[in-house]
Amino acid sequence: MKETQIIKDMIKRKYEVMNNGKQNDEVLTYSENKSDFLDLNRYWEVDLSDEIVAYSRLYEKVIVLFKKLVQKFIGWYIKPFTHQQKHFNGIAVRTINQLKQELHDTKVSLDDKTKLINQKQREIDSINERLDNLENLNNMNFDTIEFMDKFRGSREEILKRLEAYIPYIKNQKKALDIGCGRCEMLEIFNREGIESKGIDLNDQLVQLGKAKGFDIGKDNAVEYFKKSDNEVDLITMIHFIEHFHPNQIEELLKGAYDALEVNGILIIETPNPRSLSIFRESFYLDPTHIKPVHPQLLEFVGNSIGFTTEKIIEFERVAVDEGYSISPNVRESLFSARDYAIIFTKEKI
């Protein structure tokens, strides 16, 4: 029958291709698959009424007559089987056609999604490049320690101011100072008998701290929290978060929250944007500053993560000649504290 010959031909083609040395994944080429698919849709129907032919001219009439008699004699027996085969073939072909269409649709969908992913990746790469360029603008090549000595204040001045935190940290056992700078906070910890570690991204400041004998590593704060599983009961960030983009601050505080033990303390000190004097005198003097953080925003973010506000401290109010007649609102805007600190605690849930 024609169907049997078609199948034989298909098998023969595959066998010949394989014997030509091609790998299995190269056997079913697109053109061959397409040809097979067309044959499948063309010859799926089993039909006993096909025209009977003889291949010998001499006995053609006899052979044809004999075949017709045989076909008629056994037709009643095999017809149910051919009917079942025809039904099965129809289902198989319809299913294959449906799967082929679904595969085609899936490929089109995947191609579209791949194009979209590639487009988004190019956009992400462009954004990252722009962010890198912005960060590089802040990386000025100067002596950081000399700059801090001149504009941050002397080591003695900073140590004296940091003593304001001693009542809040004296019972803590293990501390982490983020952005440890010249290590003034680490000196306070050492004085109070608190085991401590500091991290900073500035090579010069890291080397300074190591030379002083402190445990200091060069690391990014957010990444440090992600990879560190050592819990502490005290974390300090003294003039640190103003170096972060606003969208990074929440991630930074979440990392600190996870790193703290229950009843642990987080101290954040930063310039106070409610005092206009910082914009005139100090904030933009440091090229690594990005944006000041309003105390109410910082407190809100900390509380939303799970911290409890223990206390808000204001430092270094601007001196003003009391002889001037200034309204309270203007006085508060111009001469309020240049820096503030929020002391958070991580309480048991």
CATH code of the domain covering residue 232: 3.40.50.150
- Which pLDDT does position 159 carry in this prediction? 92
138 lies in some domain: no
The reply to whether 110 and 150 lie within a common domain is: no
First to last CA, the chain: 80
- In the chain, the number of structural domains is 2
129 lies in some domain: no
- Which pLDDT does position 20 carry in this prediction? 54
Pairing mode, if any, of strands 337-346 and 232-238? Answer: unpaired
pTM: 0.60
169 lies in some domain: yes
For the chain, residues with pLDDT lower than 50 are 1-4, 7-8, 11, 14, 17-18, 21-32, 137
- Which pLDDT does position 24 carry in this prediction? 45
- Which pLDDT does position 56 carry in this prediction? 57
The residue segments making up the domain with residue 68 are 2-121
135 lies in some domain: no
- Which pLDDT does position 131 carry in this prediction? 66
- Which pLDDT does position 249 carry in this prediction? 93
Is residue 183 a contact partner of residue 214, using CB atoms and an 8 Å limit? yes
- Which pLDDT does position 2 carry in this prediction? 47
Q: List helix spans (H) across the chain.
A: 2-19, 24-27, 30-42, 60-138, 144-151, 155-162, 166-169, 184-191, 203-211, 221-227, 246-259, 277-281, 295-305, 328-335
The reply to whether 195 and 273 lie within a common domain is: yes
